Homo-oligomer: A and B are copies of this chain.
Amino acid sequence: MPPVLLSASFRRVLFLSIFVLAFPAAAEKVKLDASQWGHEAGDACVSCHTKSSSGLAQQWRDSAHAAAGVNCMDCHRAEREDADAIEHEGQVIATIVSPKDCGRCHTKEFEEQQGSVHAEAYSIIEDRLPALAQNVGGSAMQAASCDQCHGSRVKVRGDGTLDPATWPNSGIGRINPDGSKGSCSSCHGRHRFSKAQAREPEACVRCHSGPDSPDKEIFEASKHGMVYAAHREEMNLDAAEWVAGRDYTAAPTCVSCHMGAAGKLPSTHDVGLRNVWSLNTPVSKRQFLVIFEDGAKMELPGDEAAPRRGTEMARADGTVGVVKAVATPERRRQAMTLVCVECHGKGFTEGFMRQFDAVVELYNTKFGEPARAIMAGLYERGLLTPTAFDEPIEFTYWELWHDEGARGRHGASMMSPNHAWWEGMYLVGRNFYARFLPEARAAAGGHADEVVDAVLRANGQHEWLDQPGQMSAILGFPPQEVE
């Protein structure tokens, strides 16, 4: 493809266009417009629920839905043939209101959300559940833990009610009875469905906290979080559009950078759109986001050539898709940067991004790749069984990339020095040197030199281990005292 010179303004349109893609509607359900709001049975719902489960009705009364005349039945009504239709006080309803249902009015949000890493959160872990949730934990853990964030594959019983092994559930990648993926109420708490609430950092806490993804803690420990805490009441969280730099300037929240509008950058419900790196992987990759003609999306390693528009590609689910557009890592970075520059200079922003990228690259080359090579060597020589987690080193390796390694990379990406270092890379280093290597050598036995130490020697970043005479005051012993 010969290079094409584009005018600056055309390039801007092109650049932004990927962030306002209108996908072909995946929803088959009837669209609703305002003239159809206000189902005639709605008053009866509210009247009864003012006595029974009254909080639920009050939350709705406090909602934009109530103000707009959208009632219980507008969202919960179902067709008799729907898998999860039940009869309730003379009405045919479904307990679950799926993204497809919400999409009857909130079309743009639904289309952006479908195919996003959020919508795919259950699909991408389903084949891993036996090894971790079942073996290390037990089947009860899936409903109460994994599925509460990732979503459940909701099972409808013969009578239309929902199997308690799969529901209650508001996991973000829930496989709904109508085939749609996700749960809007994961972020927009029922039955208020508040914009403002979903814009607060606490909206993400249920899933983005804890050892493997302490994003809420990282935010709180960052300059952004510190300033947000002080100025929350000036954040204008209820604004219709909530454009950074216009509607608020005190601080960003999670939503600002990952989904929010800023200057000319439009908002999106595809939360991963602006992410350059895969950070929750054994080794991070810069990634393309491929968008297909049918609205599906796929991440691809950014070190291969970008697929061209019109190319047919096999997808994870076995189908073939036609490429409609590709967001390159550079474009994804540019999009994120458009948020930064609402409050920071360009030099500041670029300097920060370099510091972040350097941490990811350090993790990759010094720890991630060697650890993976060592594990591969152990598996290949049959020194470990293929079953995950039946040998202690598999927990060490898992936590090295999935927990402390992810924390270090996320900490650097969102500016919590504590998470980047003490809860991140310090532990990566400590566990690599003091736990993983000894365990790997023990597992390798007579093969330790070829499986473990050869990898370290080839790497070149571990030579300090061979310099036992370096003195430092760090442990509290002045160098001269130690002879």
Contact B482 A386 (CB under 8 A): yes
Say yes or no for A343: interface residue by CB 8 A criterion. Answer: yes
Shortest Cβ distance from A166 into B: residue = B351
Q: How far is the CA of A397 from the CA of B434 in the complex (A)?
A: 13
- Which A355-406 residues sit within 8 Å CB-CB of chain B? 355-356, 358-359, 361-362, 366, 372, 375-376, 379-380, 385-390, 392, 394-395, 397-398, 401
Contact A206 B189 (CB under 8 A): no
Say yes or no for A230: interface residue by CB 8 A criterion. Answer: yes
Contact A359 B144 (CB under 8 A): yes
How many copies the complex holds: the figure is 3
Contact B136 A395 (CB under 8 A): no
Shortest Cβ distance from A228 into B: residue = B202
Contact B138 A375 (CB under 8 A): no
A positions within 8 Å CB-CB of B: 52-56, 58-59, 62, 95, 127-128, 130-132, 134-141, 143-146, 148-149, 161-162, 164-165, 167-168, 170, 189, 192, 194, 196-197, 200, 202-203, 205-207, 209-212, 220-223, 225-227, 229-231, 234, 244-246, 249-250, 281-282, 341-345, 347-348, 350-352, 354-356, 358-359, 361-362, 366, 372, 375-376, 379-380, 385-390, 392, 394-395, 397-398, 401, 411-412, 415-426, 428-430, 433-435, 438, 461, 464-465, 467-477, 479, 481-483
Chain B contacts for A207, CB-based, 8 A = 417-418
Chain B contacts for A481, CB-based, 8 A = 376, 379
Q: How far is the CA of A183 from the CA of B138 in the complex (A)?
A: 41
Q: Given the known A-B contacts A386-B470, A426-B137, are A144 and B210 also in contact in the complex, defined by CB atoms under 8 Å?
A: no
Shortest Cβ distance from A141 into B: residue = B425
Chain B contacts for A390, CB-based, 8 A = 433, 464-465, 468
